[in-house]
Each structure stands twice: as C-alpha cells, then as structure tokens.
Structure 1
Amino acid sequence: MHGQLSEDTVVEVPAAVLWKVYHGVELGKLAAQLLPDVFGRVEVLEGDGGVGTIVKVTYPPGTPGPGYVKEMFTNIDNEMRLKETEVIEGGPKAAGFDVYRIRLQILEKDAESSIIRTSVEYEIDDKLAEMASKSKVTVERLGTLAQVIAKHLKQNK
C-alpha cells in the first residue's frame, strides 16, 4: 500500500529566512529547544546538514510507539527550497513501514509570508495497511513545529 498526506501552513516569515532553518540541522536543534515535550532530544549522528546526514530524535518518556527515530537527509534542493528525509530506523520503520519519507518545502507567498508544505509519503505491506489508518501516519507534529518555528523567527528578527 502506498499513501501520502500533506498539509500547508501559512506563516508570516519570508521564505529565505525559513529556508535557512529548514535546509540543514538547525531545524532539529530548534525542534528540541522549542518543543522538548514533543521532540525530546535531537542529535546529529553523521554529516554536516547536507545529503547523507543522519539525525536521531529521541522522544520524551511516555510518547507512544518506539522511543526514537533515525532519519537520513536524502534530498536538499536549495532552488526549490525542498528537503526530503527518510526514516531508516525506529519510529515508523519499527512499526512495519517499508518506506516513510518526509518532504518539507518552503513556498514564497509574498515578500513577508510563506507556505510550509509538509508531506509524508509511505509504503507498507497490504497486510499491515490498517496501521497506516490508525494515526501512525501524520503530519501533525511537523505542522505544529512549522507554527512554533515561524513564531520564534518572527519574534527574534
């Protein structure tokens, strides 16, 4: 089974400013700093923020499911302001997903506002398809993060 979810979050921050945070490891650092009760600890295991970088998110105690996820940056397109990561261990992989890919794209709305497009693409064996429909696939955390990051950037110009 293949599937995709997508959500657009409109924020009052210029696209270029957002992309400086989203394109590398700064996003993970801010996620852990601004939303520790959601993202816990984020650490870079390998790389410098470019393609091939591997990060580990260790969720706070009490978070349902596997306690961590490792993601690899698989595509960073500065021209399109697009970043793709793929879960390589823990999280959805531990739950049975064959592929779990996250796409983050910053779209310019106007000079002072942007759209953060968050998408999740996944593949799972048809026998486990029910798992995908039981809230295992969501963009909710990343949508919340988009709003919090934008608020932080706006307040700290």
Structure 2
Amino acid sequence: MFATVSHEMEVKVPASKAWRLYSSLKLANVVLQKLSHLINKIDILEGDGGVGTVLRLQFPPGTPGFTYYKEKFTKIDDEKRAKEAEVIEGGYLDLGFTLYRVRFEVIEKSEDCCITKATIEYDLKEEAAANASIVSIQPLVLIMETAADYLTVNDED
C-alpha cells in the first residue's frame, strides 16, 4: 500500500535563504532548540550533512509507536532545492512499513518569498495496513513553522 501526504507553506524570505537552512544540518539544531517535545535528541552517525548522512532521531518517552529511528539523506538537489531522507532502521520499519521517505522542497515564489513543501511517501505491507493511521504530516508542519519563524527573525545570509 503506497501513499503520500504533503503540506505547503508560504515563507516571506528568499528561496535561497530558506534552502540554506533546509539543505544543512542547521535545521536539526533549530528543531532540537524549539521542538524538544517532538524530538529530544539527534545524533549524527555518519556524514557531514550531504547525501549519505545518517542521523539517529530519539523521541520523548510516551511517543506512540516507537522511541527512535535512523534516517539517511538519500537526495540533496541544490538546483531543485529538494532534500530527501529515508528511515533505514527502527521506527516505522518496525511497524510494517517497507518505505518511509520525507522530502522537503523550497520553491521560489518571488524575490523575497518562497513556498516550503513537506511530503511523506510511504509503503506499507498489507498485513500492517492499519498502521497507516499513524502517518501524520503534522510533525513536519511544526518543523516548517519553526523553520519559517527562525528564517524571518534571523538575518543570516
């Protein structure tokens, strides 16, 4: 069972500025600082933020379903401003998912405005179809809102 879910948000900063955050490990730092109730620890196991980087995300006690997963950056396209990461261990894979991929995109709207888009693509074994209900775009929406707040208050360029 393959499905996708996505969300878009307008951000009043240039696409190049938003992409500098989304394409780097700095996004993980911003998430940890502002959303510790969502993710309480991120360890870099391999890499420097480029394709092949592996992160271990640990979730607060009481998070429904699982306590951690490892994800690997599988695509970072500076031209299209798209970044993809796939769960490679734990988390969703332990619940019958055969694929759980997150994609962030930054789309230029005007010189000083862009659209950030988050997409979840997943594939689930038929016998675990009931677990599709745990897939939620809401945590990514919170990350996008946090990133938008960070981008509009910080003048880094």
Same fold (TM over 0.5): yes
How far apart, in 2, do the equivalents of 1:89 and 1:13 lie?
35
Shift of 1:143: 0.9
Aligned to 1:72: 72
Shift of 1:68: 0.8
Counterpart code for 2:138? E
Aligned to 2:10: 10
Counterpart code for 2:152? K
Aligned to 1:122: 122
Q: Secondary structure at the match of 1:149?
A: helix
Aligned to 1:95: 95
| Contact preservation (8 Å) 2:7, 2:117 | yes
- How high is the TM-score relative to the length of structure 1? 0.94
Q: When the two structures are aligned, how many residues end up with a matched partner?
A: 155
How far apart, in 2, do the equivalents of 1:92 and 1:84 lie?
16
Counterpart code for 1:47? G
Shift of 1:24: 2.2
Shift of 1:96: 1.3
| Contact preservation (8 Å) 1:44, 1:53 | yes
How far apart, in 2, do the equivalents of 1:101 and 1:89 lie?
12
| Contact preservation (8 Å) 1:61, 1:67 | yes
- Give unmatched runs, 5+ long, in structure 1: none
After superposition, give the CA deviation of every residue in 1:1-28 in whole Å (9 maximum; x if it has no partner). Answer: 1111111111112111111111121111
Q: Secondary structure at the match of 1:37?
A: coil
Q: Secondary structure at the match of 1:38?
A: coil
Aligned to 2:27: 27
Shift of 1:112: 1.6
| Contact preservation (8 Å) 2:95, 2:128 | no
- The percentage of counterpart residues that share the same residue type is 39
**What CA RMSD, in Å, does the superposition of the two structures yield over aligned residues?**
1.0
- Give unmatched runs, 5+ long, in structure 2: none
| Contact preservation (8 Å) 1:25, 1:44 | no
After superposition, give the CA deviation of every residue in 1:57-92 in whole Å (9 maximum; x if it has no partner). Answer: 111122212111110000000000000100011221
- How high is the TM-score relative to the length of structure 2? 0.94
How far apart, in 1, do the equivalents of 2:150 and 2:27 lie?
12
